[in-house]
């Protein structure tokens, strides 16, 4: 994963302090400025910064309250928070740290110290992001893994139920992949999986779609806000994309190249949304049917 | 004196190890791999900065958070300590309430990172090592075998007629069978250096460091017997009434230039042979 520019949010009601921190941090990070506690929460949820520098004494909502809100919300609870404040009593520091802040820096600011502390916390954050990314991608193909698929489809079903929009799922299986492995060996099999994953991922290119490796040679495409007829058209495109890869498969009874079968199932508004396993099961059943009916085809 | 205060502050919640100088600290860090290190700057012999630099230079200890806890309260000292990669720098005198909560917060982050590291190396379904961890481990063990002049064995296993099992019993039952086979593999590869991993769909791999061909064959035979012993009914299998596996084993001897891909390919070839010759058997 390439290292992107990290975003630091500064929360302070004093323009002078903001300017000072801006000067200290320089141009290394993207800065997000919030001048009150409520603005800070709003922007934190919208932008998910990598680190938050938080003043304690602010009118209406104090820094302590902001920190408590951030730590209570699953979207923001893993963002490191550093208090920067003129309150330098031991009990103030203990209070801030007890709310889950990772550091508490007393004013007056010493630029070199602030810079290196922020740098170190952002390094750790970057490392955590890398690991989060690794734990949600499939090691072999680089696309989303089963865990990510399951989290994603659950969340999307909830959204679909709330927004009253359809949600489609395509379950895919490579035809006679076992025979392919037996004929060409596992290393070639791995290569084939990578090519198929890449082609599926390229083909399902709308930003909201997710292509995941579901199991050995099974893949799944989650298509939010997509009706059945559109999903079937996408599935046909996927089949075609794999045919076009033209990966030789001499022992396949279906064709002389690699092909896939697909099952398409659609969640409609009004259905019970907590049945993600129902949707998967249904698509899986249709996939099975398309295999029974000769493979290299879509059933819906 | 300081060590005693710190021990008393932290001991109720954590296992605490103390070191009187830098060398001892490095030795303990290397052997017990603590979750956090509190480090003084002024130490007899090697100073705390040196210790920190060495910890951060070693891949086995670099991810352990280091907190300096010291009477050196000049700004340049603090910048130096933090610049070496310490995550915190606390001045003495020790304020137990502050030390306790700072330590707790850093340990929480460490725990989250450990969790993610585990997640990214584990197969979600079977909870044994995943493909990523397998590839890393294979690479490391292959180098070690050549360096230490020890043989390395690899077994590749495949569930017989698993496709038919899935078609007959459904995917949920299939997942369940995979979990059971994975557990059997894990109990067959039980020496500390062995690694049991899921290679792909119904394929499993065991890495057996410091193991000759004969030893590899024995481990594989155990695994085969374990799976048979599970007695998972498989009515659709043409060869048995229960789930069986086929295994291929390959061994490399420590010759420089011995290739990792050769090892995988040969184990794969042996697995293919086991399947050609009727399945439910080991070929080495």
Structural domain includes residue A15: yes
Same domain membership, residue A205 and residue A161: yes
Give the CATH number, domain containing residue A22: 3.40.50.2300
Calpha distance B1→B186 (Å, rounded): 47
Q: Which of B102, B133, B268 sits opposite A186 (nearest CB)?
A: B268
Calpha distance A72→A81 (Å, rounded): 13
Structural domain includes residue A140: no
Q: Which of A97, A131, A145 sits opposite B117 (nearest CB)?
A: A131
- Top CATH class of B2-121 equals alpha beta
Closest residue on chain A to B74 (Cα): A113
> What residue segments make up the domains of chain B, in order of their start?
2-121, 131-283
Structural domain includes residue A141: no
Calpha distance A222→A229 (Å, rounded): 14
Q: Please identify, among A107, A134, A161, the residue that sits at the C-terminal boundary of a domain.
A: A134
Q: Percent of chain B at pLDDT above 90?
A: 74
Same domain membership, residue A294 and residue A169: yes
Hey, is the C-beta of A101 within 8 angstroms of any chain B C-beta? yes
Contacts B97 to A, Cβ<8 Å: 90, 94
Q: What does the block give as tokens for A170? A: 């395509």
Q: What does the block give as tokens for B238? A: 């043409």
Mean pLDDT (whole number) for B200-220: 94
Window 65-94 of A: residues touching B by CB (8 A cutoff) are: 78, 90, 93-94
B2-121 and B131-283 share one CATH topology? no
Window 158-197 of B: residues touching A by CB (8 A cutoff) are: 163, 167, 171
Structural domain includes residue A139: no
Same domain membership, residue A167 and residue A94: no
Same domain membership, residue A184 and residue A43: no
Hey, is the C-beta of A285 within 8 angstroms of any chain B C-beta? no
Contacts A135 to B, Cβ<8 Å: 116, 119-120
Answer yes or no: are the C-beta atoms of B219 and B189 closer than 8 Å: yes
Residue B15 is predicted with a pLDDT of 95
Contacts B265 to A, Cβ<8 Å: 185, 187
Closest residue on chain B to A117 (Cα): B82
Q: For domain B131-283, which CATH number applies: 3.20.20.80, 3.30.530.20, 3.40.640.10, 3.30.70.270?
A: 3.30.70.270
Window 38-67 of A: residues touching B by CB (8 A cutoff) are: none
Same domain membership, residue A75 and residue A177: no
Structural domain includes residue A1: no
- Please give the angle made by the CA atoms of B233, B271 and A187, to the nearest 5 degrees: 115
Mean pLDDT (whole number) for B121-132: 90
CA A83 and chain centroid, separation: 28
Residue A2 is predicted with a pLDDT of 59
Q: For residue range B44-73, what is the model confidence (pLDDT) as tens digits?
A: 999 999 999 999 999 889 999 999 999 988
Is A116's CB within 8 Å of B83's CB?
Answer: yes
Contacts A185 to B, Cβ<8 Å: 265, 268-269, 272
Same domain membership, residue A162 and residue A83: no
Same domain membership, residue A166 and residue A231: yes
Which residue in B284, B150, B133 sits closest to B219, CA to CA? Answer: B284
Residue A275 is predicted with a pLDDT of 61
Q: For residue range B221-263, what is the model confidence (pLDDT) as tens digits?
A: 999 999 999 999 999 999 999 999 999 999 988 676 667 778 8
Same domain membership, residue A91 and residue A198: no
Calpha distance A193→A260 (Å, rounded): 11
Residue B60 is predicted with a pLDDT of 83
pLDDT at B179 over 70: yes
Give the CATH number, domain containing residue A159: 3.30.70.270
Is A93's CB within 8 Å of B163's CB?
Answer: no
Q: Which of A102, A138, A145 sits opposite B105 (nearest CB)?
A: A102
Same domain membership, residue A13 and residue A38: yes
Contacts B171 to A, Cβ<8 Å: 284
Domain that holds residue A112: 7-134
Same domain membership, residue A224 and residue A153: yes
Q: Which of B120, B125, B261 sits opposite A134 (nearest CB)?
A: B120
Is A140's CB within 8 Å of B200's CB?
Answer: yes
**Smallest Cα distance from A140 to chain B, Å:** 7
Q: Please identify, among A85, A102, A134, the residue that sits at the C-terminal boundary of a domain.
A: A134
Same domain membership, residue A191 and residue A94: no
Answer yes or no: are the C-beta atoms of A124 and B62 closer than 8 Å: no
Answer yes or no: are the C-beta atoms of B57 and B87 closer than 8 Å: no
Strands A218-224, A167-174: pairing is antiparallel
Q: Which of A110, A146, A185 sits opposite B125 (nearest CB)?
A: A146
**Total domains in the fold of chain A:** 2
Q: Please identify, among A134, A155, A178, the residue that sits at the C-terminal boundary of a domain.
A: A134
Q: Which of A94, A145, A288 sits opposite B124 (nearest CB)?
A: A145
The reply to whether A19 belongs to the active site is: no
pLDDT tens for the 300 residues of chain A, in order: 557 899 999 999 999 999 999 999 988 999 999 999 999 999 999 999 999 999 999 999 999 999 999 999 988 999 999 999 999 899 999 999 999 999 999 988 999 999 999 999 999 999 999 998 888 999 889 999 988 999 899 889 988 888 899 999 999 999 999 899 989 988 899 999 999 999 999 998 888 999 999 988 999 999 999 999 999 999 999 999 999 999 999 999 999 999 999 999 999 887 765 566 789 989 999 999 999 999 999 999
Is B124's CB within 8 Å of A218's CB?
Answer: no
Closest residue on chain A to B66 (Cα): A120
Structural domain includes residue A2: no
Answer yes or no: are the C-beta atoms of A277 and A241 closer than 8 Å: no
Same domain membership, residue A51 and residue A107: yes
Is A131's CB within 8 Å of B265's CB?
Answer: no
Mutate to test the interface with B, among A120, A180, A286 (most CBs of B within 10 A): A120
- Give Cβ neighbours of residue B144 (< 8 Å, ≥ 6 apart): B150, B152, B209
For residue B270, what pLDDT band results from cuts at 50, 70 and 90?
very high
Catalytic residue of the set A150, A217, A236, A299 = A217
Structural domain includes residue A286: yes
Contacts A99 to B, Cβ<8 Å: none
Burial class (CB in 10 A: 0-12, 13-18, 19+), B95: middle
Q: What is the DSSP letter of A172?
A: E
Structural domain includes residue A64: yes
- Give Cβ neighbours of residue B96 (< 8 Å, ≥ 6 apart): B5, B9
Residue A276 is predicted with a pLDDT of 65
Number of CB pairs, chain A paired with chain B, less than 8 A apart: 100
**Smallest Cα distance from B245 to chain A, Å:** 15
Q: For residue range B12-28, what is the model confidence (pLDDT) as tens digits?
A: 899 999 999 999 999 99
Going from the C-alpha of B136 to that of each of A167, A183, A246, B257, B262, the distances in angstroms are: 38, 27, 31, 18, 16
Which residue in B41, A157, B90 sits closest to A149, CA to CA? Answer: A157
Calpha distance B284→B281 (Å, rounded): 10
Mutate to test the interface with A, among B94, B96, B120, B131 (most CBs of A within 10 A): B120
């Amino acid at each position: 994963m390439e290292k992107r520019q990290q975003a630091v949010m500064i929360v302070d009601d004093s323009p002078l302090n903001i300017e000072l921190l801006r000067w200290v941090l320089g141009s290394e990070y993207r800065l997000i400025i919030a001048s009150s506690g409520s603005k800070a929460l709003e922007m934190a949820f919208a932008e998910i910064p990598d680190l938050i520098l938080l003043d304690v004494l602010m009118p209406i909502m104090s820094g302590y309250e902001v920190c408590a809100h951030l730590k209570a919300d699953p979207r923001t609870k893993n963002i490191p928070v550093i208090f920067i404040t003129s309150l330098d009593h031991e009990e103030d520091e203990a209070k801030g740290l007890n709310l889950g802040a990772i550091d508490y820096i007393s004013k007056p600011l010493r630029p070199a110290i602030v810079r290196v502390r922020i740098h170190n916390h952002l390094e750790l954050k970057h490392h955590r992001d890398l690991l989060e990314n690794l734990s949600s991608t499939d090691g072999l193909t680089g696309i989303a893994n089963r865990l990510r698929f399951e989290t994603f489809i659950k969340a999307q079903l909830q959204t679909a139920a709330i927004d009253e929009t359809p949600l489609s799922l395509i379950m895919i299986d490579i035809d006679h992949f076992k025979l392919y492995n037996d004929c060409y060996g596992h290393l070639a099999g791995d290569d084939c999986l990578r090519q198929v994953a890449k082609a599926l991922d390229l083909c399902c290119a709308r930003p909201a779609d997710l292509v995941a490796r579901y199991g050995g040679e099974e893949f799944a495409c989650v298509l939010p806000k997509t009706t059945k007829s559109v999903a079937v058209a996408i599935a046909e495109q996927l089949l075609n994309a794999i045919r076009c890869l033209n990966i030789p498969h001499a022992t396949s009874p279906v064709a002389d190249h690699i092909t896939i079968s697909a099952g398409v199932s659609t969640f409609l508004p009004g259905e019970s949304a907590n049945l993600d396993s129902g949707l998967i099961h249904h698509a899986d059943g249709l996939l099975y049917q398309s295999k029974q009916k000769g493979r290299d085809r879509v059933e819906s | 004196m300081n060590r005693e205060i710190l021990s008393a502050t932290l001991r109720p919640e954590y296992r605490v190890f103390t070191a009187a100088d830098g060398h001892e600290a490095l030795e303990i860090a290397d052997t017990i791999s603590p979750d956090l290190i509190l480090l003084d700057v002024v130490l007899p012999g090697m100073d705390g900065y040196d210790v920190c630099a060495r910890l951060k230079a070693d891949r086995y200890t670099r991810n352990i958070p280091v907190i300096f806890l010291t009477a050196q309260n000049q700004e340049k000292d603090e910048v130096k300590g933090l610049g070496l990669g310490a995550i915190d720098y606390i001045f003495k005198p020790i304020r137990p309430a502050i030390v306790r909560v700072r330590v707790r917060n850093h340990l929480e982050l460490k725990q989250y990172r450990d969790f993610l590291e585990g997640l990214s190396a584990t197969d979600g379904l079977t909870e044994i090592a995943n493909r990523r961890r397998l590839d890393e481990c294979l690479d490391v063990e292959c180098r070690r075998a050549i360096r230490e002049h020890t043989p390395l064995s690899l077994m590749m296993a495949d569930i017989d007629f698993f496709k038919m099992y899935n078609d007959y019993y459904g995917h949920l039952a299939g997942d369940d069978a995979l979990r059971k086979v994975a557990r059997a593999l894990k109990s067959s590869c039980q020496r500390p250096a062995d690694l049991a991993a899921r290679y792909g769909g119904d394929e499993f791999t065991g890495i057996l460091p410091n193991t000759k061909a004969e030893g590899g064959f024995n481990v594989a035979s155990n695994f085969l017997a374990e799976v048979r012993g599970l007695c998972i009914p498989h009515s659709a299998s043409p060869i048995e009434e229960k789930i069986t596996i086929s295994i291929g084993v390959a061994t490399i001897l420590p010759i420089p230039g011995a290739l990792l891909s050769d090892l995988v390919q040969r184990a794969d070839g042996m697995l293919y042979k086991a399947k050609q010759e009727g399945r439910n058997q080991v070929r080495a």
